Copies of this chain bind each other. A is one copy, B any other.
Amino acid sequence: MLCFAKAFRLVFEKGTGVIEKTYNKDKLQLDFQVNEFARSLRMNKSMTVGVLLPELDNIFSTRIVSEVENILMEHGYSTLICDYKNSPALERSKLQFLTRKMADALVVMPTHLTAEDFADINKPVVCLDRPIEQFDCDRVLVDNRGASASAVQHLVAHGHERIGILCGPREVYTVRNRLAGYREALLQAGITPDESLILFGDYDVKTGHRLTRQLMQSENPPTALIATNFDLTTGMVIALNELDLRIPDDISVVGFDHAELASAMRPHMSVVLQPIQQIGQEVANLLLDRLQGGTQSMREIVMPTCLTQGQSAKHI
């Protein structure tokens, strides 16, 4: 069998990349291109990590992925991104796709996946932002309860009792936990949560806009608002503007994510910040450990959040 690999290949490591020069019997080939299918088949690995995200247009997840990517790249791994557009069916089929077709390991930000979906997946999996019930795998989570609790405490400290909260979809893990933290913090402050101040919807700008209008135009509107992700925060700010409600004179607010914009605004907006860079690092490290054959037991890492105080909350 005449093999291509019969050729004599000099491999120079140069920085992060690899330059391969091939000498054939008759000719010097400088433009040799490895067939990655063959290599992957032979090695039974593709040096590729699959990333499964709910949707692409979300600054939180894409920024984390960006971090993960940077670190993995330094170790010779590439990153493939799939999104499932918040569809349970797509979520499962893309998981299958990444697993069977491509990836040596997975980073998954699940919504509806269950342990069953991972039954025949014998590859390292790291859950990002959300765990999967009954499925023991490495995971990097955020202290969601603490996040919203700190927002509530900040507002309570300014005398607010009627605090509205804009939430994402009910079924999402982070949404439930952020809401739980909100309730706990209110109760701890001796305030009974008013269910009419709790609104759910999609995690997008339009929803933030709609829910804010709904809340502020109700009979008994809140004196303060918490938005629980960046898009909701943006929609909230736009809607308050339209309603001629000034921050913080007419309404106090706490936003979520995106320090740059929050501190560019006048007055600075108080925001809950998730440690995006560190989350990415933790994910990458867990992944690399597993890929390098670590056989430790499952690890769960919970990252703290931090409330950056601006001037978007005012004493009532």
Q: Tell me which of B34, B55, B101, B260 contacts A36 (CB under 8 A).
A: B101
Please give, as numbers and ranges, the residues of chain B lying within 8 Å of A44 by CB-CB distance.
Answer: 37
A28-85 contacts to B, CB under 8 A, are 31, 33-38, 40-41, 44, 46, 48, 55-59, 62-63, 65-66, 78-83, 85
Please give, as numbers and ranges, the residues of chain B lying within 8 Å of A46 by CB-CB distance.
Answer: 37, 101
State the Cβ distance, A239 to closest chain B Cβ, in Å.
8
Q: Does A200 contact B (CB under 8 A)?
A: no
The oligomer's copy count stands at: 2
Per-residue interface assignment for chain A, residues 225 to 239, with 1 indicating a CB less than 8 Å from any chain B CB and 0 otherwise:
000000000110110
Distance of A238 Cα from B247 Cα, bound (Å)? 12
A58-B57, A80-B82, A83-B81 known; A37 vs B34 contact (CB < 8 Å): no
Distance of A235 Cα from B264 Cα, bound (Å)? 10
The number of chain A residues with a CB under 8 A from chain B is 52
Is the pair A33, B101 in contact by a Cβ cutoff of 8 Å? no
- Extra 11 A-B pairs, beta carbons < 8 Å, given A57-B62, A238-B241: A17-B93, A36-B102, A37-B41, A46-B101, A56-B57, A102-B102, A205-B261, A209-B265, A235-B261, A240-B241, A242-B266
